[in-house]
Amino acid sequence: MSNANDDLFCASRGGCAVSLSDDSGGCSHSDAIRAISFSADGALFASAGDDKLVKIWKTDSWRCIQTITSEKRVSAVAISKDGLYVTFADKFGVIWLVTVGEHGGGQVSSDNKPVSLYGHYCSIITSMKFSPDGRFIATADRDFKIRVWDFCTSK
């Protein structure tokens, strides 16, 4: 949900809303939000959209802990089971990977910029999700296709 100030809110069963604010002083998002995702343990939340930003939020404080800039509009986002990685898809169907926070990893760049995992294999990806064991990434796209990628081998 959002209000006239373009703040993001998380509604709970109790009916109260918590404002999601970006600690960098910037607004939450400046354009349409196309995708959201929770980590498996519920500790992290990701939002992404037409402003070419992916934002990672801690759910205990609802504060933005990381902002990732994409070259293109973002159409889908997913957080790995262990919460170490975020994948996102741009409007050309390229899937990108970045580490969350200070975590290091084998497939990511040393400066923590997004790394392309799979490129231009399909049309706009409309949905993306990690498998429960974290091994696969499933995507759905505008070409009526579902693709399953092996996250461990990038194939």
135 belongs to a structural domain: yes
Question: Who contacts 20 (Cβ-Cβ below 8 Å, separation ≥6)?
Answer: 7, 8, 9, 10, 28, 47, 57, 62, 63, 64
21 belongs to a structural domain: yes
d(CA 89, CA 100): 16
67 belongs to a structural domain: yes
84 belongs to a structural domain: yes
Look up the pTM and report it.
0.77
1 belongs to a structural domain: no
pLDDT at 104: 41
2 belongs to a structural domain: no
Domain carrying residue 84: 8-150
- Tens place of pLDDT per residue across the chain (155 aa): 444 455 555 555 555 565 666 655 555 888 888 999 999 999 999 999 999 999 999 998 888 888 999 999 999 999 999 999 999 998 888 899 998 875 444 344 445 678 777 776 668 999 999 999 999 999 999 889 999 988 888 66
Instruction: Give the number of domains in the chain.
Output: 1
CATH code of 86's domain: 2.130.10.10
56 belongs to a structural domain: yes
